[in-house]
Structure 1
């Protein structure tokens, strides 16, 4: 009886094993389906992450564009004339260059006129000197002729020759001395004018104040097209001021 029960139990176990094995064999398509589903889920998740990354990048770009647009909008509202600022600066620079060119032309014309005036002044001095020399010679000849006619007495009966130097000769000496002083003054003036003309040729113009004293210099640089003004200060060394003027002029 016991043997029958054991054989029956073994048969049930064997049949159960066969059933389980057959079920495993029948479940192979389901396993493949599950694997395909898992693969689809992974691919879908990858695509979703890529879409999210692109959306995040696009969002960041739009945020930057929005920030720049807001800044531009605020700047235009605060300074509405900023668009015309470049044109305004260009016109100012053009006016500055035109003014500097006009001033330079006027300075050249003034220098030429001053040179012409100086030349005319020298010619006038030469004419005056020659006229005075000829007049002095004529008067000397006339006085000599008078002395030959009356060695001891004048035409009015009085003695003029025994009193030392005649009055006419004394006035001639004083006139010659004054003429020499005028020539020296004119020579110094001519040297000063020539020195100022040389400075102007280098772009350096010395200016006078209300008292007629040279107190400042205006320097124009043709290479840089700019103008500088330097005031003469006794507290500064002449070496420093000279270097400053040449630096502006070069």
Structure 2
């Protein structure tokens, strides 16, 4: 029994001697630890690079998908959108041109009105001068009658003087009254003619402008514009729009512009 215990003690001592620390073992452990840390750092760097590459590839995939989806769009729809944009630009340019023409028409109307008023003033001054000349002629005729009356006799001369004076006054009074009434009537009639001519010229210009862009106004039996015939040069078709009081002017205007463009 004692021999067995000695053998166990000896065995334990031999095993313990095998596990004694040495400088070489410590160096090996430190080297292994350093290698493990380097391996972990390299692994982290590789994972970071892999994530970056994956994100880049994901972005490229999304771009490729978006490009592929755009390629499947109908070319006709794209051309339609471009055509609509072009037509909108044409509509705005035509509207601006119409506005400029309306401003020119207004300025020309004002100039025409001013010129006609100047013409009326000149005519009225000429009428006044003609009235003065006729009054002078009447006075001369009255004087001649007076001289003739005095040569015929004293009593007759008095009667002739009174008659000539009365006739001359009546002639001058009628001439002055008629001259004033005629002047006012002429100016009033001329102003009405100016307004009528201006309104007619404006209506004609607008109708010509509308017809130039393919819009023709049509009258009904009463002479009122109730329809519009629109010709589209781009589509080579004709549309007929009937003016309805139940529809808003904004809707009807947009409808006409859409058909015209």
TM-score, with structure 1 as normaliser: 0.53
What residue is the counterpart of 1:56 in the other structure? 58
Residues of 1 paired with 2:15 and 2:40: CA distance? 31
Q: Structure 1's 11 and 43: CA in aligned 2 closer, same or farther, altered over 3 A?
A: farther
Deviations 1:26-77 (A, max 9, x none): 9635555444433332222222222223333444555566677778968624
What residue is the counterpart of 2:101 in the other structure? 99
Residue 18 of structure 1: CA displacement? 3.4
Residue 121 of structure 1: CA displacement? 0.7
**Residues 76 and 82 of structure 1 are in contact (CA less than 8 Å); yes or no, is this contact kept in structure 2?**
no
Greater share of residues in helix: 2
What residue is the counterpart of 1:6 in the other structure? 5
What residue is the counterpart of 1:143 in the other structure? 145
What residue is the counterpart of 1:19 in the other structure? 18
Residue 137 of structure 1: CA displacement? 0.8
What stretches of structure 2 of length at least 5 have no aligned partner? 198-261
Q: 140-149 or 85-94, which moves further after superposition?
A: 85-94
What residue is the counterpart of 1:129 in the other structure? 131
Q: Structure 1's 169 and 151: CA in aligned 2 closer, same or farther, altered over 3 A?
A: farther
Q: Structure 1's 86 and 78: CA in aligned 2 closer, same or farther, altered over 3 A?
A: closer
Residue 110 of structure 1: CA displacement? 1.4
Residues of 2 paired with 1:189 and 1:66: CA distance? 77
Residues of 1 paired with 2:62 and 2:83: CA distance? 32
1:177 aligns with 2:208: no
Residues of 2 paired with 1:104 and 1:176: CA distance? 38
How many residues were matched structurally? 189
What stretches of structure 1 of length at least 5 have no aligned partner? 155-159, 197-205, 210-250
